[in-house]
Amino acid sequence: MPGSYSPTGLVPCTLCEIGTYQMSVGSTSCKPCESGSYQASEGSTFCTPCEIGSYQASVGSPSCNTCDEGTLTATTGSTASTDCKAQCVAGSYSSTGFVPCTLCEVGTYQTSVGSTSCTSCEVGSYQTLVGSTSCTPCEVGSYQASFGSTSCTTCDDGTWTTTTGSTDCKAQCVAGSYSSTGLVPCTLCEVGTYQEIVGSTSCTPCEIGTYQDSVGSPSCTACGTGTLTTTTGSTSETNCTG
């Protein structure tokens, strides 16, 4: 039967030894596995190609040799240690993923070893160096809407970002208004409060001796001479007493 032999090709038969195989019936011998392949079991009808990352230069082998650390074969069935080649390190690439390699260009990066290309920086990030393994998020107050960028753009006057990695800038709340981020949409300061700073996240109660009877004010109005409010946050001139 396949996977066995005898001197006559007839029973009784002996199983093919490890490192050998036989596909045919009535065989008088088994064949050694070719270089680049192996067989670890008896009675086999085939040999297995060496896996990626291993090789075998000899025939009739029960196993393959593992490539040295940091090297790898590009295909199965490798037959020599020279087939084990160094992979491109993170931050570099080649058409095969093996040396010689090229550093990733500015505006790109690569986190993996053995890569065949680099990845463009995502929107909201940039990279000014070659051979990078990551991109840098745009700083607060800047943005980038394009992929593969080497810099971020500063927000125009009156606009801002509140986090890193932004893809656009938003208008800031004007004096007399606020929001949880300091950016639009904004809410006008209530009566009895004010805000003089652009891009604010809250309004301030009018201090003692001042009042504000309008919404959206950048300041409070001082009480007349000889009068004073008794609490903060006064909303009317009538709160000013002598």
**Can you tell me the mean pLDDT for 143-169?**
97
CA atoms of 116 and 90, how far apart (whole Å): 11
242: nearest Cα among 229, 211, 120: 229
**Can you tell me the mean pLDDT for 144-152?**
98
Q: Is the pLDDT score of 102 beyond 90?
A: yes
**Can you tell me the mean pLDDT for 213-226?**
97
In the chain, domain spans = 1-84, 87-168, 172-242
Task: Name the pTM for this structure.
Answer: 0.69
**Percent of the chain topping pLDDT 90:** 98
CA–chain centroid gap for 40, Å, is 41
CA atoms of 110 and 94, how far apart (whole Å): 12
CA atoms of 169 and 167, how far apart (whole Å): 7
* pLDDT band at residue 70 using 50, 70 and 90 as cut-offs: confident
Q: Which two tokens stand for residue 26?
A: 């009535």
* Residue 85, CA distances (Å) to 53, 71, 97 in order: 9, 5, 10
Q: State which amino acid sits at residue 215.
A: V
The CATH superfamily label for domain 172-242 reads: Tumor Necrosis Factor Receptor, subunit A, domain 2 (2.10.50.10)
151: nearest Cα among 111, 121, 110, 117: 121
**Spatial contact of 165 and 182, defined as CB atoms under 8 Å apart:** no
Position 229 scores a pLDDT of 96
